[in-house]
Structure 1
Amino acid sequence: MRVRIPAVATALLIAALAGCAGPGDGSRKHATDARGTADAKAPAGRSGAVGAPTGTHSPAGRPAPAERPGDLPGLGPRTRAEVPRDAEQVVVVTGGGRDATRSTVVLYERSTASGKTGDREGDGGGGTAWRAGPSWKAHNAARGWTDHHRQGDLRSPAGVFRLTDAGGKLPDPGTRLSYDHAVQGFTISGTGAEGEPLAGAFDYVVAIDYNRKAGTSPRDWTRPLGADRGGGIWFHVDHDGPTQGCISLSRAHMRTLLRTLDPARHPVVVMGPADSLAD
């Protein structure tokens, strides 16, 4: 399936930007092509509904709860309860701290002893297990993480979000997700927070369903929670520096992620600092 979105007027696009391709941290500006898109930031949420806002996290230094067989490593009972029952692929993005800009990404896939899909993570039946992929290094936002994302706060939203749509400046590398290939639509220029060039950052992207309409191109700027809650939170190609809210991976790891995610397996991302995920 291919999604095609008409070109957006420059003034409207600039007004929508709030993320990796939008304004920087106040001391440096991140520029985009006049027709480019950005990595706008939006509120992060942690409640029973995937992508809805929440707001608490584990106190610093509190021991993580004991994990049971079949649990996703590093996730506490509250976080595990937010993982949808139908999710058979879970991308866990673990930040080193509330203000850290670097994180670790691991893709887990559900399996059972019989080779069939289990009913739910941690169901206690003894037959469900999660198979871990390799650990990948990543960048998150320049000011770390938040449980209540706001446009321009330079923090990545913590929470559990669906992964439904992808796109990029480069052709589809073989993903099962809906992929919007748009050369100009994913063109970005300028420099990042540490002076690194941003060119190529949107060669491949996977939209994180935070404050966006699922089933549309990553370039769709519909914001169900309102524009002040940000949006345009993506996985995208790393530019060797922190983002404005997105999660960035190496080009090779982005290609692997795109080729692995399967909408039939209802993939989600669980993302945030380690102490918050341990709740």
Structure 2
Amino acid sequence: MSDSNITNFSNPSTFILLGIPGLEAAHVWIFILFCAMYAIAILGNFTILLIVKMEPSLHGPMYYFLCMLAVTDLVLSTSILPKMLSIFWFNSREIDFSACLTQMYFIHCFSVMESGIFVALALDRYVAICHPLRHSTILTNPIVAKIGLAMLLRGAILALPYPFLARQWPYCRTNIIPQPYCTHIAMVSLACDDTRVSSYYGLFVLFCVMGLDVIFITVSYILILRAIFSLPTKDARLKTFGTCGSHLFVILAFYIPGLFISLIYRFGQNVPLHFHVLIANVYLLMPPVLNPIIYGLRTKQIQGRLLRLFTHERA
């Protein structure tokens, strides 16, 4: 790193976000791609919220969880993309230290919330397929509200130590973050003190929270698959599996890049930096784009309500 990037401060007032190092020449094209992704995420998730609100028949547990997921995706993408787009288009790289900490908090808080909502969706599918006659009595509206509140509080509480830990470290090497947004790992790597507490806490959240979520989702879908294969006819099996296939695809698209990022950060010293940053962007930005498309367009009730909405407007 050049001497111009090295400073002698311990409390920087701003950080510099580099965007995607090594791909500066393509920042305009990346801006167009990410701008399109943001527009799809905003339009798709607001459409899910609007349709569920307008259609009384969709006022059920799965659709309430989809609305929670849509709100989570809207907050997550909005906490990242506006600043990212300003870097790619206007070269506005500076971010205030407090704004960086706030962005970090929202990214980690709503990522944990999204993981929790996937657990809730897996629970809903398990009850609907394995105990269909008891679905309405097990997942009542008060229970769904309590699950949503629990996911919100879990994300808010678990993400709270991240900005407090990052604020206490001295930053005497550089204030340059080689990616387009602030995360805990990126900031801690710039600190010039013993940051093992931050690293251990990050691993705790990764394995004890995300890991438990993955285990719960895996067990749920194993039980779901057992129930599907015990159905009497092939058509019934295909129909039931179709309702779960889209859920499973979105869940894998969320967790696999996250696992890949963690492995690259710890063991992939020879992986190019721009590849690492691109994978991190996919991890954070693809779910808000994919979730409304896959959950919405592949859910027949939402498809039907959307079709009636457009047909009515044309008439």
TM-score normalised by the chain length of structure 2: 0.27
Please state which structure has a larger fraction of its residues in strand.
1
What TM-score, normalized to structure 1? 0.29
Higher helix share: 2
Q: Name which one, 1 or 2, has greater alpha-carbon Rg.
A: 2
